[in-house]
Amino acid sequence: MKRRWGTVLVALGAILCLGSASASASGVRISPLPAAEAGRFWTPARMRQAKPLEVTGPRSSAPLSKKHGPQGRPHRIAAEAARPAGFGSDFEPVADSTAPGDRVHGAIFLALGILGYGRCSGTAVRSANESVVFTAAHCINSGGRRGRWFKSRWVFVPGYRYGQRPFGVFPAKWLDTTKQWRSSGSENFDVAAAVVGRNQRGETLGEAVGGAGIAWNLKTQRSFDVHGYPSEEPFDGETQRVCPGAPFLGHDPESFLAPGPLNLAVSCEVTGGASGGGWIIDGGTLNGVTDYGYFDDTSPDYGPYFGNEVARLYGRAARVR
């Protein structure tokens, strides 16, 4: 039995004011933590202590707006370095997390005050500022109108493995989610972006690892390479894993009741910590992120549809300097 990685951790964290910024139309800026300091803080021991981020509580169901839904023209931004797609759906370890194509995926760590440390997964995405990371919204904001930002010592560690940080640590300087996540907390909009500063070597994220492409408003009938750093049993979060060629299974019946485009289910067994992990199509294009699963079975893995709101989010993140 596994998944639905839900506890009171993040809810309590939110109550304890881990982030004090209010939701704004264009994300929240963070006083950038120097990369060297972030690197010193996030020791292997602290990274191993980090627990998967979760969100509790029912969400409000706002009335459906006509604007919601997978409307708009399909759009793709090519990856900087693509790799061939695999096949199969087991959540298997990536042979070399520093290899081109896999190095764009990484682990996200953040401090939760007295509650310890949290973790998620994320993906570097190609952009003009070479610094955009996509993840799940619940890895950045607790959601809803009273949602709090999780911005304390938020870092992205691409290619993370066994406490190693092969490309350094990239501290966040700007965080944002889809607007609907912050207004309704609808899991159908559980997508976020971060803009990160330079690593300890002074490199931008794009210079260090490149970036996946990104696409939105595509048809759902496709297969995805689902990446992530699951840290709950039977995994340990120390290696990047991938479900290559995980097929689209359908929509979660619950997603019909929440605002936004219906979420997607793929055949992949993931656990907590994999939240925010990138769903890759065509060998190098991000087209989804891991959102949630259920305890009572090992699969599927659910994630939001990449539609117009994700396009807007990408546009806001890519403009950040």
Residues that bind other proteins in the complex, under the rule CB under 8 A = 1, 4-7, 53-64, 66, 68-69, 136, 138, 187, 190, 249-254, 256-260, 262, 265, 267, 275, 291-292, 294-297, 299-300
Rounded Cα gap, residues 298 and 258, in angstroms: 24
**CB proximity list for 76: less than 8 A, separation 6 or greater:** 213, 214, 215, 218, 285
Please report, to the nearest 10 degrees, the dihedral formed by the alpha carbons of residues 44, 177, 277, 253 taken in order. 140
Q: Taking the complex as a whole, how short is the minimal distance between the CB of residue 261 and other proteins, in angstroms? A: 9
> How many CA atoms lie within 13 Å of 266's alpha carbon, on the beta-carbon side?
34
Q: Minimum distance between the CB of residue 159 and other proteins, rounded to whole angstroms?
A: 24
Residue 69 or 163: the one with the smaller Cβ distance to other proteins is 69
User: In terms of CB distance, is 168 or 185 closer to other proteins?
Assistant: 185
| Nearer CB in complex with other proteins: 97/184 | 184
Q: Which is nearer to other proteins, 19 or 261 (CB)?
A: 261
Q: What are phi and psi of 309, to 5 degrees?
A: -65, -35
Q: Which is nearer to other proteins, 138 or 161 (CB)?
A: 138
CB of 278 to other proteins, least distance (A): 16
| Cβ at position 298, least distance to other proteins in Å | 9
Q: Report in angstroms how near the CB of residue 13 gets to other proteins at its nearest.
A: 13
Tokens coding 68: 């919601």
- 66-85 in b/e form (b: 16+ CB < 10 A) is eebbbeeeeeebebbbbeeb
Phi, psi dihedral angles at 255 (to 5 degrees) = -70, -15
